[in-house]
Chain A
């Protein structure tokens, strides 16, 4: 499967990549986006099977990316890995069609639990 990792932090993109590997998901194609606009563009051009997105990013926030994709009829599996977690954000994510909401700092166990149903 192809996974798009969207986060403006290079460090966090690297940690998400490493944690995916530690959680046992190391045989997937990984694509990266450094802001929301790039994430939206690559969601179209790369056709990923899963998008793991930060919430607070330049250009477009993660929730704006998700809403744009859904408005365009793109139903790719999409979820958030973010340091911010409020009830209003979780509700907004769920309403927009988010499949998971993981809060930083996270562990490989949390990744395994969240992604096993999606990545197998």
Chain B
């Protein structure tokens, strides 16, 4: 089953817009601007895995500066007060929120993992049994951010 028929890039964009409106840009002055540049560089990323009727991963990736700004916005902190733990926690929560919304659009019977955060580029992690099927790439105050979905290329319980 292809998830593209269930969760489109427009769906991802709508979820991201809600996250920005609720937490990252409540004043509506600094939206995520789509670039469609799938190769834009990232420095940190977080992942939640989905298993069950669909197998794959939701990956949120950004520059360190964008992650720091996100942590500042989530935690109502000045940027120079934001520490590594704050960045990790907020990155995990961002993947969790978008992943939870993705799960809601998938067929019943899916399970969402707790998030895994890596303060290294997305290219530092490998998903050997999955391929990227969709994503949203953009800039927030000039800083790169991406949200992508990776679908398992295997089927069954071991996928």
Contact = CB atoms under 8 A, between A and B. Distances in A.
Contacts of A11: 74-75, 86, 89-90, 92-93
Interface in B108-145: 108, 110, 112, 114
A83 B108 contact: no
A34 B21 CA distance: 26
B103 A10 contact: no
B22 A105 contact: yes
Give chain B's interface residue range (CB within 8 Å of chain A): 20 to 34
Nearest to B106: A86
B23 A15 contact: yes
A18 B75 CA distance: 9
How would you classify the secondary structure of chain B's contact residues: helix, strand, loop or mixed? helix
Given A14-B75, A86-B108, A106 B96 contact: no
B101 interface: yes
Interface string B83-104: 0001001101100111111011
A16 to B, nearest CB: 12
A11 B95 CA distance: 13
Nearest to B48: A83
Q: Size band of the A side of the interface? A: 20 to 34
Contact of A56 (B23, B75, B114): B114
B92 A104 contact: no
A8 B114 CA distance: 10
B97 A83 contact: yes
A9 interface: yes
B30 interface: no
Interface of A: 8-12, 14-15, 18, 56, 58, 82-88, 103-107
